[in-house]
């Protein structure tokens, strides 16, 4: 693993035709892949829930309701799909970084277990908090950082993306339990993704997804 400084990262993103900030990313071609279970901010993400004396309640912004075990089963399914995509495309190296996002962590992120794991990972690789530099990883050596990045996003804690500069692809996991794929090679990548999704009945393809 090695640190990738912001200047080098932005140069690579620009060469791939991928937006560097929230305004530019809106003009980058994209599509999404999401799980049928629309978890929102993880298994404990019951934001805005109100419970009344008679036991009734309003859901607030909560998405799919399930156990922590179900959450991790669903998450593993999405990670398996992502790993199959990387194998198909022969992608081994990724850069983990905020990229078009402004921060590493969500504005109201809880300092929980996954927060501390991501913070320790960044610090170990000499990336300071609120720094927009990235960390290059090799999937052949360890898929742990990829799993950590996906979990952090799915639980609404982190804003980190997965960037494959050699294949001109940026993947942004999000708290709605899915990924947005940004690439100038949209038609080509869509063909690959839709073919692979045939083996994942719980994953859905969505075209022209917004970055947020």
The 10s digit of each residue's pLDDT in 133-163 is: 999 999 999 999 999 999 999 998 999 999 9
pLDDT of residue 212: 39
> Can you tell me the distance from the alpha carbon of 115 to that of 132, in angstroms, rounded to the nearest whole number?
16
% of the chain residues with pLDDT over 90 = 67
pLDDT of residue 45: 55
pLDDT for residue 49 is more than 60 = no
pLDDT for residue 44 is more than 70 = no
Q: Give the model confidence (pLDDT) of 87-114 as tens digits.
A: 999 999 999 999 999 899 987 777 889 9
Q: Can you read off the two tokens belonging to residue 159?
A: 């804003």
Task: Spell out the residues 6+ positions from residue 43 whose beta carbon is closer than 8 angstroms to its own.
Answer: 66, 67, 68, 70, 71, 155
Whether this prediction's pTM lies above 0.85 is answered by: yes
What average pLDDT does the segment 126-134 reach?
91
Query: Over the chain, what is the mean pLDDT?
Result: 88
> Can you tell me the distance from the alpha carbon of 75 to that of 79, in angstroms, rounded to the nearest whole number?
6
What average pLDDT does the segment 172-188 reach?
93
What is the pLDDT confidence band of residue 210, given thresholds at 50, 70 and 90?
Answer: very low
Q: Tokens 């000499």 belong to which residue?
A: 126
pLDDT for residue 65 is more than 80 = no
Q: Is the dihedral of CA 87, 73, 100, 138 positive or negative?
A: negative
């Amino acid at each position: 693993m090695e640190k990738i400084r912001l200047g080098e990262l932005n140069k690579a993103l620009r060469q791939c035709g991928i937006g560097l900030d929230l305004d530019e990313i809106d003009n980058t071609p994209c599509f999404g892949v999401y799980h049928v279970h629309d978890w929102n901010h993880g298994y404990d993400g019951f934001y805005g829930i109100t419970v009344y004396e008679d036991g009734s309640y309003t859901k607030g912004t909560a998405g799919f309701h399930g156990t922590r075990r179900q959450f991790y089963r669903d998450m593993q399914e999405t990670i398996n799909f992502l790993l199959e995509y990387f194998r198909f495309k022969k992608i081994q190296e990724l850069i983990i970084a905020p990229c078009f996002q402004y921060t590493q962590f969500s504005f109201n992120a809880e300092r929980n277990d996954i927060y501390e794991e991501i913070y320790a990972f960044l610090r170990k690789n000499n990336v300071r908090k609120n720094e927009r530099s990235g960390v290059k990883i090799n999937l052949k050596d360890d898929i742990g950082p990829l799993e950590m990045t996906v979990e952090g996003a799915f639980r609404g804690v982190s804003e980190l993306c997965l960037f494959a500069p050699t294949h001109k692809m940026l993947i942004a996991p999000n708290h709605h339990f899915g990924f947005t794929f940004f690439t100038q090679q949209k038609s080509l990548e869509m063909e690959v993704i839709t073919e692979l999704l045939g083996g994942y009945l719980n994953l859905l393809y969505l075209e022209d997804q917004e970055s947020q």
